[in-house]
Structure 1
Amino acid sequence: MPGRTIAFLDRVPAALRQGIAQLRESLGVPDDFDGSVIAAAEAAVAGVRLPDRDLTDVPFVTIDPEGSMDLDQALQIERDGDGYLVRYAIADVAAFVAPGGAIDVECHQRVETLYAPTQRTPLHPEVLSEAAASLLPDVVRPALVWEIRLDAAGAPTAASVARARVQSRRRHSYGEVQRLLDAGQAEEVLVLLAEVGRLREAAEVARGGINLGVPEQEVCVAADGTWTLEYRTTLPCEGWNAQISLLTGMVAARMMLDAGVGILRTLPPAEDHAIERLRRTAQGLGISWPRRVGYPDFVRGLDAAVPREAAMLNACTTLFRGAGYDSFTGGAPRDADHAAIAAPYAHVTAPLRRLVDRYAGEICVALCAGEPVPDWVLTALEALPSELEGSSRRAGRYERGIVDLVEAMLLAPRIGQEFTGLLIDVDPDRHAGRLQLADPAVEARVKGGRRLRLGTEITATLVAADLVNGRVDFRVFAG
């Protein structure tokens, strides 16, 4: 399915609020924090100790979606001989969260931040996630600062991470960064982000990594309060920024593998039958995929702006469904690679929004300092993968359920109308499939007897839009 962008919105129709409330209850999504957790967070803020190492003179900047307050990362890049020095400051959540304390226990229940138009369900109380621990501009914050040296080709030659106090200079949005770069008005750190980002993208291609670039379904609200769904393609600067995060996760994974202790994000390689299924999908969509062309090169040749190719990218997401986590002590696991990244990888760059990053970050800090990994980290490692994978499943169902509800709300007044869309999936045994509309940006069930053929553009009638369960159905009628 396409990716999803879900923003927090002030004006939400009552019907949608009711559907989201039911969805949250069915998935066990938590509500507000208990008073004891809030009190613990406020006490942690009052008693926080800043690291002795002072990097407040480093001109870090943050780059995030417009309006974000939970800022996990701050970036600084400079030239280093014929290469580069990347400094990546990551919010030091462990400075505020006592192991086994009220906040920690709650975090293990939540595991990650969840997003919906009606409300954000944060991993940490907002006094931490959007204030004292967030790398907001012009305030001093504790951070884990990665220093990664790259050669002229953008390959890492050395990496370390240690605690330091930092002060971000500016908070950028992705749109602002792209406009500055396109206009030739960007400051040096942003110019170097583009330079290093492109080098890292080239390295990704060389090692066989894959970035699908699937268009996102984005919930949009106009000034007059009209809701819609649109497909959104990511900006180039978003990809370059993501490459810095990937780089950091890759060097962190290598540190942990070399030490024989850690936790990795993993994805097994695609099996031959799955690739063959995608080849049949490509054939059905009328897209050429010569046998001599491997899967990574085929995917990189697809253009998300072309409807059939966007549908193919959507089909390719099925190869990412085996992602999980693998924790280890006393030796490295045998299968450590993340198949889409084509390298070992660890989550270490979003601790405000994801539980695992706090643990992986602590391991890397200890390893770089030559100190033992803290007992509270080692004790949690065995259970973490199951906690994380269970939360990932819940987050996926929640985000998909939100978009389903928005789709039903938008289409409910239009039952009986005809829509034109592309068949992106077909089940011939059930004479059913999935229909992708361009406007509104909806993907829904369709039935049509024997008339459905993969990759064809069809006209179908909207026959149902269930606002309670978020179900939309189309049908192709004879004649």
Structure 2
Amino acid sequence: MPDRATRPDFAAVRAEFDLPAEFPPEVLAEAARAAARPPSPGRLDATDLPLVTIDPPGSKDLDQAVGVSRDGDGFRVHYAIADLGAVVEPGGALDTEVLRRGQTVYLPDGSVPLHPTVLSEGAASLLPDGPRAAVLWTIGLDAAGEVTSVDVRRAVVRSAARLDYAGVQADVDGGDVHPAIAALPELGRLRRGLAVARGAIELELPEQEVLPDGDGGWTVRVRRRLDVEAWNAEISLLTGMAAGAMMLRGGIGLLRTLPAPEPGALEEFARTADGLGFAVEPTVHAVAALLAGLPDGAPALALRRAATTLLRGAGYTAFGDGVAPPADSGHGGIGAPYAHVTAPLRRLVDRFGAEVCLALAAGEQPPSGLRAVLPTLPEVMGASDATAAAVDRACVDRTEAALLAGRVGQDFEVVVLRPAEADGPPGEVYLVDPPVLARCEGPLAAGGTATVRLAEADPATGRIVFTAVRG
């Protein structure tokens, strides 16, 4: 275990990225008043719907409550989303503050929330302790899992239980699924299959997370994605695609966009795949099918890393009021147009996306104040996404470096993800235990294993450098 002097300093990360320490008093006061207000009248009473939340253990900022059931030969999805549009007063102190923050930023020792916790972990969260205001999506699907109908409206709902992924997975494996999500496994598998058919590019690289080591320090672990997580994600994607389609039909909205892979990038990926022992045609659908069926092992891991070059240029695109939708309105990682609407407690843009959809579903245009804000959101969210990603990487890097700080000069067996380029960036390697992604100098062959020597590990900066010994 690293000694105290070499443990990662997350306070330094907060300072480096100038993360806010607390909310201004006027924001807290406004949030407390909003938390005390009952749901507005005129909502659909949907408290009889069987809904549950599925989140990591201990989560309190619960954005979604889900119900998935059979409906004849098809399916019906009820997806209740925390209704922040009914809580945040446009132009008020809270609105101004969340526009500045953009999203919740997560660090191992605590989050920097988008909204005060009296809302995000209390009155606005879909906790199973009473009725909650929600934006309720009702989506009908046929026997193949394709959408047949979409409805969205404001409602009052009641979550029956707060579940976690591991618990639900154990229930599924034991054949005893909560009645509210009895059809989730079947629909989830169907939607995963449809994603591949659409040409959705799924990377599934190792997902690192920083956790307490049980002895007052921190360690890094690779989190294995459970089937239930993938199925639950498909319900969120389903809703986001329904929202994107609604916005395009209505001629106004804010899409999450990602250009489709360029032909040259697909051809380069096919050459890389061939060199790693995988044959694939340079088409989106062929690549999507290959990535979905990759086995475990070093070559597959290197190929997943190579696939990241296919997904570049993600952004947010606002349109309406004379601005046409983008020529390429799709999201290359999803294979369809898509809009963020399912996580408003943690991500600013979702509140506005939900308001657009509510107006369009009612046959109306969004109010002028909302339309005026939409064009400003891509810049806000782009900066916020960049900060959140950089903070996450900084926390992981510093923890990795702390774990390795006392082992400089030692040799390690690693998986080579990317070789160094001539007159370009160094290579990239993956150490399995502890799970570390790091740069490596010297000649390496991607997709195999190599012996490397640890040349540098600095917990203060997170910088880790290996040098090739033999590959």
TM-score grouping bracket, smaller chain normalisation: over 0.9
Alignment pair present for 1:49 and 2:39: yes
Structure 1 position 217, deviation (Å): 1.1
Which amino acid is the alignment partner of residue 113 of structure 2?
Answer: P
8 Å Cα contact 2:298-2:448 kept in structure 1: no
Look up the match of 2:272: 281
Deviations 1:103-154 (A, max 9, x none): 1111111101111112201111111111110000131110000011111111
Structure 1 gaps, min length 5: 1-11
Alignment pair present for 1:319 and 2:310: yes
> 1:50 and 1:307, CA in 2 relative to 1: closer, same or farther beyond 3 A?
farther
Equivalent of residue 244 in structure 2, options 235, 248, 253: 253
Look up the match of 2:439: 445
**1:110-125 mapped onto 2 (5 Å cutoff):** 110-125=101-116
Structure 1 position 429, deviation (Å): 1.6
Secondary structure of 2:182's aligned partner: helix
8 Å Cα contact 2:281-2:287 kept in structure 1: no
> 1:290 and 1:261, CA in 2 relative to 1: closer, same or farther beyond 3 A?
closer
Alignment pair present for 1:383 and 2:379: no
Deviations 1:410-446 (A, max 9, x none): 1102112111101111124259311111111001111
> 1:453 and 1:289, CA in 2 relative to 1: closer, same or farther beyond 3 A?
same
Structure 1 CA distance, aligned partners of 2:213 and 2:399? 15
8 Å Cα contact 2:318-2:325 kept in structure 1: no
Secondary structure of 2:45's aligned partner: coil
Deviations 1:67-86 (A, max 9, x none): 11100000112222221221
Structure 1 position 406, deviation (Å): 0.7
Structure 1 position 460, deviation (Å): 1.2
Look up the match of 1:29: 19
Look up the match of 1:418: 411
> 1:241 and 1:379, CA in 2 relative to 1: closer, same or farther beyond 3 A?
same
Look up the match of 1:168: 159
Structure 1 position 252, deviation (Å): 0.8
**Root-mean-square deviation (CA), in Å?**
2.2
Look up the match of 1:361: 354
Look up the match of 1:5: none
Deviations 1:26-82 (A, max 9, x none): 323222111111111001112343443211111210011111110000011222222
Look up the match of 1:338: 331
Look up the match of 1:145: 136
8 Å Cα contact 1:70-1:134 kept in structure 2: yes
Alignment pair present for 1:84 and 2:75: yes
Secondary structure of 1:326's aligned partner: strand
Structure 1 position 391, deviation (Å): 1.4
The farther-off stretch of 89-98 and 220-229 is: 220-229
Look up the match of 2:127: 136
Look up the match of 1:408: 401
Structure 1 position 17, deviation (Å): 5.4
Which amino acid is the alignment partner of residue 273 of structure 2?
Answer: A
How high is the TM-score relative to the length of structure 1? 0.92
> 1:421 and 1:322, CA in 2 relative to 1: closer, same or farther beyond 3 A?
same
8 Å Cα contact 2:84-2:344 kept in structure 1: yes
Alignment pair present for 1:189 and 2:180: yes
The farther-off stretch of 283-292 and 362-371 is: 283-292
Aligned length: 465
The farther-off stretch of 386-395 and 45-54 is: 45-54
Structure 1 CA distance, aligned partners of 2:92 and 2:419? 50
User: Aligned residues: percent identity?
Assistant: 47
Which amino acid is the alignment partner of residue 43 of structure 1?
Answer: R
8 Å Cα contact 1:17-1:118 kept in structure 2: no
Structure 1 CA distance, aligned partners of 2:169 and 2:186? 13
Structure 2 gaps, min length 5: none
Look up the match of 1:204: 195
Equivalent of residue 395 in structure 1, options 388, 391, 406: 388
Structure 2 CA distance, aligned partners of 1:41 and 1:187? 34
Look up the match of 1:60: 51
Secondary structure of 2:183's aligned partner: helix
The farther-off stretch of 95-104 and 211-220 is: 211-220
Structure 1 position 341, deviation (Å): 1.2
Structure 2 CA distance, aligned partners of 1:13 and 1:258? 57
Structure 1 CA distance, aligned partners of 2:98 and 2:8? 25
Which amino acid is the alignment partner of residue 357 of structure 2?
Answer: C
